[in-house]
């Protein structure tokens, strides 16, 4: 490559002094073809070819790029770090340093970021009642004094921009269905179409284009509400950009003023109130003279009315253990003893667990969530489920774990009766009164027996009869409102006139 200063001298000789190319070639020692080429193309600055320096990273670049693309498709917490990728390269023959791998990864990610920022998007517009958008978000809240990680369902009407948030502890199917029930209740109707990403609770498998294998239970919910489910293309979040933006905005608009609450239900009531208040104050981005609530009132006429909420449970087949317990999510729940060692159905709701056998509900428990994987599972008893076992084995009442959840008055009575001979059997007979009578009445009868200092089965039954037997009605007072003007008199001689003359004596 010719030097820049020599090129400048050659151009002055030729174009200013009129020197011939032969003379320039003689003076510089270059060939006339070289002189002719540089003078002909008006080159003012030479272009040097980029030096291709081979490095230890060169032969592994394509492999590392394929790994980076694979990791980018994974969830953030499942991705390998750069150090993990470096450790995977070393057994394959890479002898360079970690710093070269890290520098290459930084450069590749920056190129991907710039390429994404240069993409062009089409602005979208939706008619009233046409569509809603859904997405999950993640936030933290102090519930019952503890910092709790929450999965937040975000719904947004695409036309009016009305939105609603609902917080849950997981992203499972029953949570998704419950969120739809509450969203359509608040929106007071259902749009024609729902726009989702390819979440696992809805899509079992993604094929080319728009073809999806949709979860059967999700399809049942869609069929119930009569809307069309539309799934975005992979990595095309702009197709539901309104709700994507709402997930980010909610962190600063709503979650920053979140108070400490006692339970999840209180949190969801607070979120619903905050969302509706925001409709009333926020201006609509397309209709500057109207609020979101004003546009929602107009869109509401185009929504299909909800006749009944979707019964969004997930059903599992479970085997009842010999101790009358059913396992679910590392916890165990009791069912009536008559179903021990049998297979039943478990219907899972966001906050309830219902146990079904022979088409009938046999038990119901509040659902318990584990805050940590290291926390041991809990056992949730209903002592009434074990009455059948106690009737056959009264001695088990003394140390039976389920009976620790009895009302305090029952425990007090048990402490007294177990000191007597055959007191355990007598206590079981008192507990069995609940099978045929209301529990509140039996509790009141036991409390009355204890207050009277007569703790026995007979006295409890006597008190129970007094509670459940209604008092005789009060006598109706006689009102002397009518008075006779002529009092009747007794005249037996009138009977003779009725007999006639033939019978007269």
> For residue 431, which of 478, 54, 439 has the smallest C-alpha distance?
439
Going by the DSSP 8-state scheme, the letter that residue 291 receives in this structure is B
State pLDDT tens for residues 439-452. Answer: 888 889 888 888 88
Percent of the chain beyond pLDDT 70? 90
pLDDT at 417: 87
d(CA 382, CA 384): 5
List the domain boundaries for the chain: 4-40, 58-117, 131-302, 314-380, 387-468
What fold characterizes domain 131-302? Nucleotidyltransferase; domain 5 (3.30.420)
d(CA 415, CA 431): 14
Q: What are the residues facing 153 on neighbouring strands?
A: 136, 166
State pLDDT tens for residues 74-103. Answer: 877 788 888 999 999 989 888 888 998 999
- On whether the CB atoms of residues 440 and 467 are closer than 8 A, the answer is no
Whether the predicted pLDDT of 19 surpasses 80: yes
Helix, coil or strand: residue 409: helix
For residue 273, report the phi and psi dihedrals to the nearest 5 degrees: -65, -40
> How sure is the predictor about 181, in pLDDT bands with cuts at 50, 70 and 90?
very high
State pLDDT tens for residues 431-481. Answer: 888 888 888 888 898 888 888 888 888 888 888 888 887 666 767 676 666
Structure tokens at 158: 């695409």
Looking at residues 317-338, what average pLDDT do you find?
Answer: 92
Whether the predicted pLDDT of 42 surpasses 80: no
Whether the predicted pLDDT of 118 surpasses 70: no
pLDDT at 475: 73
State pLDDT tens for residues 395-405. Answer: 888 888 888 88
Looking at residues 253-279, what average pLDDT do you find?
Answer: 90
- Detail the DSSP E strand segments found in 286-383: 314-319, 325-328, 331-334, 343-348, 352-357, 360-366, 379-380
pLDDT at 255: 85
Bigger pLDDT: 44 vs 330: 330
DSSP for 49-115 reads PPP----TTGGGHHHHHHHHHHHHTS-GGGPPPHHHHHHHHGGGT--S-HHHHHHHHHHHHHHHHHH
pLDDT at 268: 93
The segment with the largest mean pLDDT, out of 39-53, 70-84, 149-163, 434-448, is 149-163
Helices (H), 125-211: 173-187
- On whether the CB atoms of residues 19 and 13 are closer than 8 A, the answer is yes
Residue 270 C-beta-side C-alpha neighbours within 13 Å:
16
> How sure is the predictor about 344, in pLDDT bands with cuts at 50, 70 and 90?
very high
Looking at residues 366-378, what average pLDDT do you find?
Answer: 79
pLDDT at 438: 87
Q: What is the mean pLDDT of the chain?
A: 85
Looking at residues 211-222, what average pLDDT do you find?
Answer: 89
For 178-196, letters b (16+ CB in 10 Å) and e give: bbbbbbbeebebbbebbbb
> For residue 434, which of 293, 307, 336, 356 has the smallest C-alpha distance?
336
Q: Which pTM does this prediction carry?
A: 0.68
Helix, coil or strand: residue 418: coil
Secondary structure element (H or E) that encloses residue 204, with its range? strand 203-206
């Amino acid at each position: 490559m010719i030097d820049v200063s020599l090129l400048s001298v050659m151009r002055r000789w030729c174009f200013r002094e009129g020197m011939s190319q032969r003379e320039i070639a003689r003076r510089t020692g270059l060939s006339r073809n070289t002189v002719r080429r540089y003078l002909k193309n008006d080159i003012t600055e030479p272009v040097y070819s980029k030096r291709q320096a081979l490095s230890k990273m060169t032969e592994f670049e394509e492999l590392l790029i394929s790994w980076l693309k694979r990791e980018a498709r994974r969830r953030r917490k499942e991705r390998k770090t750069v150090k993990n990728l470096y450790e995977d390269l070393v057994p394959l023959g890479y002898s360079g340093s970690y710093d070269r791998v890290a520098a290459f990864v930084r450069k590749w990610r920056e190129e991907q970021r710039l390429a994404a920022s240069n993409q062009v998007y089409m602005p979208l517009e939706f008619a009233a009642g046409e569509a809603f958008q859904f997405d999950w978000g993640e936030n933290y809240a102090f519930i019952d004094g503890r910092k709790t990680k929450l999965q937040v369902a975000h719904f947004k009407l695409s036309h009016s921009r009305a939105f609603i948030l609902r917080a849950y502890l997981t992203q499972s199917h029953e949570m998704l269905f419950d969120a739809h029930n509450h969203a359509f209740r608040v929106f007071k109707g259902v749009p024609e179409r729902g726009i989702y990403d390819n979440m696992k609770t809805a899509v079992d498998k993604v094929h080319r284009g728009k073809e999806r294998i949709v979860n059967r239970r999700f399809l049942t919910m869609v069929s119930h509400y009569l809307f069309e489910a539309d799934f975005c293309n992979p990595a095309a979040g702009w197709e539901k950009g309104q709700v994507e933006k709402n997930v980010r905005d909610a962190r600063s608009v709503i979650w920053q003023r979140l108070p400490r609450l006692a339970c999840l239900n209180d949190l969801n009531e607070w979120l619903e109130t905050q969302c509706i208040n925001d409709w009333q104050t926020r201006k609509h981005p397309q209709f500057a003279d109207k609020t979101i609530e004003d546009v929602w009132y107009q869109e509401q006429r185009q929504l299909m009315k909800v006749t009944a909420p979707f019964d969004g449970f997930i059903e599992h087949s479970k085997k009842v253990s010999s101790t009358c317990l059913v396992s679910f999510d590392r916890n165990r729940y009791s069912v009536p003893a008559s179903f021990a060692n049998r297979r039943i159905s478990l219907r899972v709701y966001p906050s309830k667990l219902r146990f079904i056998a022979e088409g009938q509900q046999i038990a119901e428990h509040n659902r318990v969530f584990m805050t940590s994987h290291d926390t041991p599972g809990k056992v949730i008893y209903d002592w009434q489920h074990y009455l059948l076992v106690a009737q056959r084995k009264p001695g088990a009442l003394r140390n039976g774990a389920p009976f620790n959840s009895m009302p305090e008055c029952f425990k007090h009575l048990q402490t007294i009766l177990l000191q007597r001979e055959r007191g355990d059997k007598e206590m079981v007979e008192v507990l069995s009164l609940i099978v045929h009578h209301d529990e509140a009445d039996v509790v009141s009868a036991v409390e009355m027996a204890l207050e009277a200092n007569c703790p026995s089965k007979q006295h409890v039954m006597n008190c129970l009869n007094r509670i459940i037997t209604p008092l005789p009605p009060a006598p109706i007072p006689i009102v002397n409102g009518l008075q006779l003007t002529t009092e009747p008199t007794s005249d037996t001689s009138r009977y003779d006139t009725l007999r006639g003359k033939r019978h007269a004596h």
